[in-house]
DNA sequence: CAGTATCCAATTGGATACTG
DNA sequence: CAGTATCCAATTGGATACTG
C-alpha cells in the first residue's frame, strides 16, 4: 500500500507525492510559507491534523526540514524539496491548459486573497500604507468583503473585517470574475470593459491597480484545450 | 474526498493525478502501450481490477480514449493526455536525482525486460532475428532467465522461457547491476571493468550490444542529491 | 499560536476467482 | 485476451474538541 515496487524514477517520485494534499503543501512551501498557520491559509480545506501528518511525512522523505524557531516550528524546504519547483510548474501549466473549468466549490475567496497578498508588486506601489478592498456581491455576507493592507514588502495583511484604514482602491466583481482574472483566463481590460468588474477610488489609483496586483504565476501560460469559464460561473461547453 | 476546492491549477491537475497508480498508467500509455494486457506488463504489481478502474477514470477525465479495436479495446491518449509528457518528464527527472535509492522490492526483472524491449535501437541492429539472453544469478530460479527476441522494430517479444533460438549475446549480472545500468546510475564500461556484469557471445556482438540496448530515457539526467545503490543492493548512506 | 488526540464512516485497493 | 465480480481487511481523512 505504500511503494510501487518499481525502479522507475517516476514511480519513486510518486511514492512521495501521490498522497492527497502533499503536492499542495509543497506548493505552499515553495510560495514562501514557513509556519503552520501560514501553511493552513494556503490549504484552508485541509484539516490541521492532516497538515501536521503530511509535514511529518515530507520531513521523513527529506523534502522538508522542521526547525525550532523560538517556541514555534519553522518549515523549510531542503535542496531536494526546492528541486520540486519544475515539477510543480509542469503540473500548474498542464492544469491551466487542460483543467480550466472550475466547479462552484473551487471559488474560495480566502484562498484568492491569500494568493494575491503575496504577489503584490511593491516596486510599483507608493511608499506608505496601501489598502485594497474587495467586494464580491455574489458571495455570502460573511465572506463578501476583504481587505489587503500593504505596509511594506514584508508586511502585508489580509483580513475579512474592516481594518478602519482609508481604502486606496476598491474592486467590485463577482468572485468567479476576480478568480479568472487572477488565473489569467480573463483579462483585466476585458472584465472592466464588459462591466463584469469595476473599481472605486482615485482615477490614478484605478489606473495603476493592475500593476500593483500581479496575476497568478500561471496566468501567462498559453491557453489551449478547453474554454475558460468566465463571469457568472456557468459552464461553457468544450470546444 | 475527491476535489480540493481550489481554483489553483496545480490543485486541478492533482485532482486527476493524485490517485495511486494513475501516473504510472499514463506513463505506460506515453511509452506506447495500447492494450490492457500490454499495460499490465508495465504495472505488474497493480491488480487488473484496479487498472480497469483507473483506465475508466482517465477516460472520464478526458485523458484517455477507449476505442473498439475488433473485439478488444484500444487505449489512446487524448491531446490533453499527450500534453502530460512534460509533467511525467519532470517527475522522472526529480526521481532520478533525489530518489535513486531503491529497496529490495523495486528490483523487478519483468519490468526491466519490458522497459528494455521497447527501447532497442533497431537501426544499430543487424537485419534478421536478434536474440538477447539475460541471466540474473541472484534472482529466484523462476525469474532468473529472460530472452528478448527482436525480429524487427515492430516485432519484439520478451519471454522467461527459452524460445529455442540461437542466442546472439547473453548478459550475466546481479539484477541490481543491470537495473542501475539501465537507470544510468552505473555505466556499462564500469560494470564490465569491475566484473559486476559480463557478456557471452561473439566479440563483435559483445562490442555493439551497448548500442542495441538503449538506456532509460532518464539515464542522461545529471545526478545530484544522493548516492546511487550499486552492485548488491546494500544501501549506501546519504551524503 | 501550533499543533495533538480521538473517533468513526467511507473509501480503497489487494486477493481471488470467474467470464464471454 | 480483456477484462468483471465479489469480498474484506486496512487505511484514510474529515470532524471535533482539546492543549501548553
A3 in a structural domain? no
Grouping H, G, I as helix, E, B as strand and the rest as coil, residue B74 is: strand
Residue B164, pLDDT > 50, answer: yes
For nucleotide D10, the protein residue with its alpha carbon nearest to C1' is A1
A41 in a structural domain? yes
Q: How confident is the model at residue A5 (pLDDT cuts 50, 70, 90)?
A: very high
Residue B213, pLDDT > 60, answer: yes
Pick the more confident residue, B234 or A172: A172
Pick the more confident residue, A53 or B236: A53
Tell me, what's the pLDDT at A107? 95
B160 touches chain A (CB under 8 A): no
Tell me, what's the pLDDT at A231? 36
Do residues A90 and A19 both lie within one domain? yes
Torsion of the alpha carbons at A2, A79, B97 and A64, rounded to the nearest 10: 0
A189 in a structural domain? yes
For nucleotide C6, the protein residue with its alpha carbon nearest to C1' is A49
Q: What is the mean pLDDT of chain B?
A: 91
Residue B199, pLDDT > 50, answer: yes
Average pLDDT over residues B184-198: 96
Residue B69, pLDDT > 90, answer: no
A4 in a structural domain? no
* Number of separate domains in chain B: 2
Do residues B162 and B51 both lie within one domain? no
Do residues A87 and A66 both lie within one domain? yes
Tell me, what's the pLDDT at B154? 87
Tell me, what's the pLDDT at A224? 72
Tell me, what's the pLDDT at B231? 36
B77: nearest Cα among A98, A19, A228: A98
Q: Among B95, B218, B222, which would you mutate to test the A interface (most chain A Cβ atoms within 10 Å of its Cβ)?
A: B95
Do residues B70 and B147 both lie within one domain? no
Do residues B175 and B64 both lie within one domain? no
Contact A21, A42 (CB under 8 A): no
Do residues B144 and B229 both lie within one domain? yes
Domain end position, chosen among B79, B98, B117: B98
pLDDT tens per residue across span B127-154 = 999 999 999 999 999 899 999 999 998 8
Instruction: Give the span between the Cα atoms of A159 and A161, in whole angstroms.
Output: 6
Tell me if A91 and B27 make a contact (CB, 8 A cut-off).
no
Domain end position, chosen among A51, A79, A98: A98
B230 in a structural domain? yes
Instruction: Give the span between the Cα atoms of B142 and A151, in whole angstroms.
Output: 70
Q: How confident is the model at residue A154 (pLDDT cuts 50, 70, 90)?
A: confident
Q: Which residue of B has its CA nearest to A216?
A: B8
Strongest mean pLDDT among A67-81, A152-166, A178-192: A178-192
B183: nearest Cα among A36, A10, A238: A10
Do residues B60 and B110 both lie within one domain? no
List CB contacts (< 8 A) between A6 and chain B: 24, 45, 106, 108, 111
Separation in Å: C16 C1' and B47 CA:
11
> pTM for this one?
0.92
pLDDT tens per residue across span B22-63 = 999 999 999 999 999 999 999 999 999 999 999 999 999 999
A92 in a structural domain? yes
Tell me, what's the pLDDT at A1? 53
A1 in a structural domain? no
- Mean pLDDT check: name the lowest of A81-95, B67-81, B121-135, B181-195: B67-81
Tell me if B102 and A20 make a contact (CB, 8 A cut-off).
no
Residue B239, pLDDT > 50, answer: no
Average pLDDT over residues B156-166: 93
Do residues B83 and B152 both lie within one domain? no
B6: nearest Cα among A46, A232, A217: A46
List CB contacts (< 8 A) between A7 and chain B: 102, 106-108, 111-112, 179, 182-183
Q: Residue written as cell 487524448? A: B78
Tell me the CATH number at A209: 3.30.1050.10
Domain end position, chosen among A98, A119, A148: A98
Parent domain of A67: 9-98
B175: nearest Cα among B231, B125, B101: B231
Torsion of the alpha carbons at A179, A182, A183 and A186, rounded to the nearest 10: 80
Which nt is closest to the CA of B52, judged by C1'? D3
Nearest CA to CA, how far is B49 from chain A (Å)?
Answer: 15
Contact A66, A57 (CB under 8 A): no
Contact B77, B65 (CB under 8 A): yes
Do residues A143 and A200 both lie within one domain? yes
Residue B121, pLDDT > 90, answer: yes
Residue B124, CA distances (Å) to B92, B120, B187, B215 in order: 27, 9, 19, 14
Grouping H, G, I as helix, E, B as strand and the rest as coil, residue A217 is: coil
List CB contacts (< 8 A) between A5 and chain B: 45, 105-106, 108
Q: What percent of chain A has pLDDT over 90?
A: 87
Instruction: Give the span between the Cα atoms of B188 and A136, in whole angstroms.
Output: 63
Average pLDDT over residues B107-126: 95
Contact A56, B51 (CB under 8 A): no
Do residues A51 and A125 both lie within one domain? no
Instruction: Mark the nucleotides of strand C covered by protein, meaning any atom under 7 Å from a CB.
Output: 1-6, 10-17
Q: What percent of chain A has pLDDT over 70?
A: 93
- The interface residues of chain A toward chain B in range 28-47, judged by CB-CB distance below 8 A, are 45
Q: What percent of chain B has pLDDT over 90?
A: 87
Tell me, what's the pLDDT at B72? 85
Q: How confident is the model at residue A70 (pLDDT cuts 50, 70, 90)?
A: confident
Contact B145, B135 (CB under 8 A): yes
Contact A143, A110 (CB under 8 A): yes
Q: How confident is the model at residue B224 (pLDDT cuts 50, 70, 90)?
A: confident
Average pLDDT over residues B94-110: 94
Instruction: Mark the nucleotides of strand D covered by protein, meaning any atom under 7 Å from a CB.
Output: 1-6, 10-17
- Buried b or exposed e, range A9-20, using 16+ CB within 10 angstroms: bbbbbbbbbbbb
Instruction: Give the span between the Cα atoms of A50 and A67, in whole angstroms.
Output: 19
A95: nearest Cα among B228, B105, B3: B3
B2 in a structural domain? no
Backbone angles phi, psi at A194, to 5 degrees: -80, 0
Tell me, what's the pLDDT at B180? 97
Q: What is the mean pLDDT of chain A?
A: 91
Tell me the CATH number at A62: 1.10.10.10
Average pLDDT over residues A18-43: 95
Residues in chain B: 239
Do residues B167 and B198 both lie within one domain? yes
The burial class, CB within 10 Å (0-12 / 13-18 / 19+), for B167 is middle
Average pLDDT over residues A83-96: 97
Q: Provide CB contacts within 8 A for A133, sequence distance 6+.
A: A145, A146, A147, A167, A169, A170, A171
Strands A130-135 and A145-152: antiparallel
Name residue A157's beta-bridge partners: A149
Do residues A110 and A93 both lie within one domain? no
Average pLDDT over residues A45-59: 94
- The interface residues of chain B toward chain A in range 55-94, judged by CB-CB distance below 8 A, are 62, 79-80, 83-84, 86-94
Contact A133, A173 (CB under 8 A): no
Contact B18, A20 (CB under 8 A): yes
Residue B205, pLDDT > 90, answer: yes
Tell me if A183 and B13 make a contact (CB, 8 A cut-off).
no
SS percent in chain B: helix, strand, coil, step 5: 40, 20, 40
Q: Among A1, A2, A3, A11, which would you mutate to test the B interface (most chain B Cβ atoms within 10 Å of its Cβ)?
A: A11
A20 touches chain B (CB under 8 A): yes
Amino acid at each position: 500500500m505504500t511503494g510501487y515496487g518499481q525502479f522507475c524514477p517516476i514511480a519513486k517520485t510518486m511514492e512521495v507525492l501521490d498522497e492527497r494534499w502533499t503536492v499542495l503543501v509543497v506548493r505552499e512551501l515553495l510560495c514562501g510559507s514557513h509556519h503552520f498557520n501560514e501553511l493552513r491559509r494556503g490549504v484552508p480545506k485541509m484539516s490541521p491534523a492532516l497538515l501536521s501528518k503530511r509535514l511529518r511525512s515530507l520531513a521523513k522523505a527529506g523534502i522538508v526540514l522542521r526547525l525550532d524557531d523560538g517556541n514555534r516550528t519553522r518549515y523549510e524546504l531542503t535542496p531536494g524539496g526546492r528541486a520540486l519547483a519544475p515539477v510543480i510548474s509542469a503540473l500548474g501549466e498542464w492544469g491551466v491548459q487542460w483543467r480550466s473549468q472550475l466547479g462552484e466549490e473551487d471559488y474560495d475567496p480566502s484562498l484568492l486573497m491569500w494568493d494575491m497578498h503575496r504577489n503584490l508588486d511593491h516596486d510599483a506601489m507608493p511608499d506608505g500604507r496601501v489598502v485594497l478592498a474587495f467586494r464580491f456581491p455574489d458571495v455570502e455576507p460573511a465572506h463578501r468583503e476583504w481587505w489587503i493592507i500593504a505596509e511594506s514588502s514584508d508586511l502585508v495583511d489580509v483580513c475579512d473585517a474592516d481594518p478602519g484604514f482609508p481604502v486606496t482602491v476598491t474592486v467590485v466583481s463577482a468572485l468567479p470574475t476576480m478568480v479568472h482574472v487572477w488565473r489569467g483566463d480573463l483579462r483585466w481590460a476585458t472584465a472592466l470593459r464588459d462591466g463584469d468588474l469595476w473599481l472605486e477610488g482615485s482615477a490614478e489609483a484605478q489606473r495603476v491597480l493592475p500593476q500593483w496586483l500581479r496575476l497568478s504565476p500561471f496566468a501567462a501560460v498559453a491557453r489551449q484545450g478547453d474554454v475558460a469559464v468566465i463571469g457568472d460561473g456557468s459552464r461553457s461547453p468544450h470546444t
